[in-house]
Amino acid sequence: MQAPIQSEQLQETQNWVPGDAVAPQSAIPLVAPGVSPDLVYDLRLKDGSSGRYYEELGRFSDKLLAEIELRAGPALGAYSRYVLHDMNEAPRSRGEYGIELLTLGLALRRYRVSADLTPAWVFLLARQLFRLRRRSTLLKPAADCARSVIVSLFMLPKTGHDPRQSRPLADGLPRLIDWLQATGEFEQEVVRLNNWLGFLATLPRAEAAHWVKAALALFDWFQGQADRVLGPYTRGVPGFLTGEYARRGCREDQVFCAKQPVEYHLNMVAAEIMNRGLREQFERTRLKAVLVPACMRGAQAATCKARASGVDLTCTACDPACAVNRISRKMRGLGAKVYLVPHSTGFSRWLERWQRQPDTGVAAVACLLNILPGGYEMRARGIASQCVPLDYPGCAKHWRRKAIATGLNEDRLVQIVAGNHP
């Protein structure tokens, strides 16, 4: 029998990273474009809609895919054969492989110096603390506190610095991947980069070095081009980093929240390109499920009467103004069911179910920095999925002192679920 879930169970964030703490969201106001200038990102600009964002993103993604082919087409072909035959992985779209190469370039440019300068014992301790926070709810606060200290002192100070070492870039990849894994924030990215590491090891040394440099050059091109096209949507990131983020001191989410605009831009194009690669499979599924974060609830969040049945949380329409209520009605008309994701640890539990139900397509909504890892996880589980980013983030856990209700482009979600995507 279903029973109303207690309000404190629902007062959590949209973040998909496992194990995150709960953030209160009582009395959350809605926010309009321009009303809250401290938004970290905002896809709506001033016209109140993110429709223009999706148009620009589509055009820019086309341009990016053409550039990747121009710079690294042979590498993508060889890599796709490697993961298919050597790794026994189901084929992905060529664009998705291109996003992986771009991610490699970003990781090298942003984090290689930090990886080189971080002592080996820090890697080990950070991984042990991350495992501890997952295994023990009782010890999680202490583990997070310890992680925040070592991350602040040893892992973040050199992030973003240009490498000056003479050592070949490819030689630093294993240590870089270890560093990313030790942070606990790049779990899915590490899997993909390990595949690239294995592929590069099969090539002659000079050829491997060539493609690593190509990944760096591609990222440098992307950074400049994306800043011009997508930068207007992430104007709040620098202010957040020098303001709210800088005032926090040591926190468990330091690496996650320290990301630069280019990392938001990568997630933007990744969502678009991964959606394209999975769209046909998603549209073939007989059933549709939509996952929305609890941060989308309206001003009645503290008294939300969503019903719990096992891991399922479903809207009971207790608040006519709630975005989750409105989306649930729209999706019901399309034959899709909406589920609230109130806690990051719940995301993987839902995925375990649909991994066993290949006739169900899953459309997941999340903030931008969770799009790429969430998409990777669904892809790895063989789930026919689509991702839709929140138009802006609003949780007090990561982005704000006072939470605000979040929203998304509902027309975009309808188009995806209905199968009439432009």
Same-domain pairing of 330 and 404? yes
Same-domain pairing of 26 and 57? no
Residues ≥6 apart with Cβ < 8 Å to 231: 261, 265
303 in any annotated domain: yes
CA separation for the pair 315, 290 (Å, rounded): 12
For residue 168, the model assigns a pLDDT of 64
- Check the CA dihedral 79-83-84-89 and report its sign: negative
Distance of alpha carbon 163 from its chain centroid, rounded? 26
E strand residue ranges, 218-301: 287-293
Share the mean pLDDT of the chain: 85
275 in any annotated domain: no
Same-domain pairing of 125 and 23? no
Tokens of 326: 């409105």
pLDDT at 3 over 50: no
Same-domain pairing of 312 and 395? yes
Tens of pLDDT, residue by residue over 9-65, are: 333 333 333 333 333 333 344 555 544 568 999 999 867 889 999 999 999 999 999
Tens of pLDDT, residue by residue over 177-213, are: 999 999 988 999 999 999 999 999 999 999 999 999 9
Q: Which residue has the higher pLDDT, 152 or 161?
A: 152
Give percent of the chain above pLDDT 90: 54
269 in any annotated domain: no
Q: What does the pLDDT average to over 137-149?
A: 84
Contact (Cβ atoms closer than 8 angstroms) between residue 392 and residue 400: no
Same-domain pairing of 24 and 158? no
276 in any annotated domain: no
For residue 18, the model assigns a pLDDT of 31
For residue 20, the model assigns a pLDDT of 36
For residue 164, the model assigns a pLDDT of 57
CA separation for the pair 293, 368 (Å, rounded): 13
Question: Among the ranges 129-133, 156-160, 240-244, 279-283, which has the highest mean pLDDT value?
Answer: 279-283
249: left (phi over 0), alpha (psi -120 to 50) or beta: left
Same-domain pairing of 310 and 209? no
Q: What does the pLDDT average to over 275-296?
A: 92
Residues ≥6 apart with Cβ < 8 Å to 342: 5, 9, 10, 11, 12, 293, 294, 306, 313
Domain ends where: 263, 292, 310?
A: 263
- Say whether pTM exceeds 0.85: yes
| Residue 293 bridge partners (DSSP) | 341
Measure CA of the first residue to CA of the last residue in the chain; give whole Å.
41
Same-domain pairing of 32 and 93? no
3-class state of residue 366 by DSSP: strand
Domain ends where: 231, 263, 295?
A: 263
For residue 146, the model assigns a pLDDT of 87
Contact (Cβ atoms closer than 8 angstroms) between residue 383 and residue 27: no
For residue 95, the model assigns a pLDDT of 96
For residue 7, the model assigns a pLDDT of 36
Element (H, E) at 174: helix 173-183
3-class state of residue 290 by DSSP: strand
For residue 79, the model assigns a pLDDT of 98
Same-domain pairing of 219 and 360? no
Rg of the Cα trace of the chain? 21
CA separation for the pair 306, 46 (Å, rounded): 33
For residue 16, the model assigns a pLDDT of 33
For residue 13, the model assigns a pLDDT of 33
Domain ends where: 263, 293, 311?
A: 263
273 in any annotated domain: no
Q: What does the pLDDT average to over 104-122?
A: 93
Same-domain pairing of 168 and 72? yes
For residue 422, the model assigns a pLDDT of 61
For residue 15, the model assigns a pLDDT of 36
Give the per-residue SS3 of 327-349.
HHHHHHHCCEEEEEECCHHHHHH
Domain count within the chain: 2
Amino acid present at 331: M
Element (H, E) at 314: strand 312-314
For residue 415, the model assigns a pLDDT of 94
**What is the residue range of 39's domain?**
3-43+282-418
pLDDT at 287 over 60: yes
**Helix ranges restricted to H, 231-260:** 236-242, 254-257
For residue 173, the model assigns a pLDDT of 93
Residue 277's pLDDT band (boundaries 50, 70, 90)?
A: very high
For residue 51, the model assigns a pLDDT of 93
Same-domain pairing of 234 and 296? no
For residue 368, the model assigns a pLDDT of 93
pLDDT at 1 over 50: no
| Residue 365 bridge partners (DSSP) | 388
Same-domain pairing of 250 and 120? yes
136 burial (CB, 10 Å; 0-12 / 13-18 / 19+) is exposed
Tens of pLDDT, residue by residue over 293-336, are: 888 886 667 788 888 777 778 888 888 888 899 999 999 999 99
Contact (Cβ atoms closer than 8 angstroms) between residue 16 and residue 344: yes
341 in any annotated domain: yes
For residue 134, the model assigns a pLDDT of 78
268 in any annotated domain: no
Residues ≥6 apart with Cβ < 8 Å to 77: none
Same-domain pairing of 122 and 155? yes
270 in any annotated domain: no
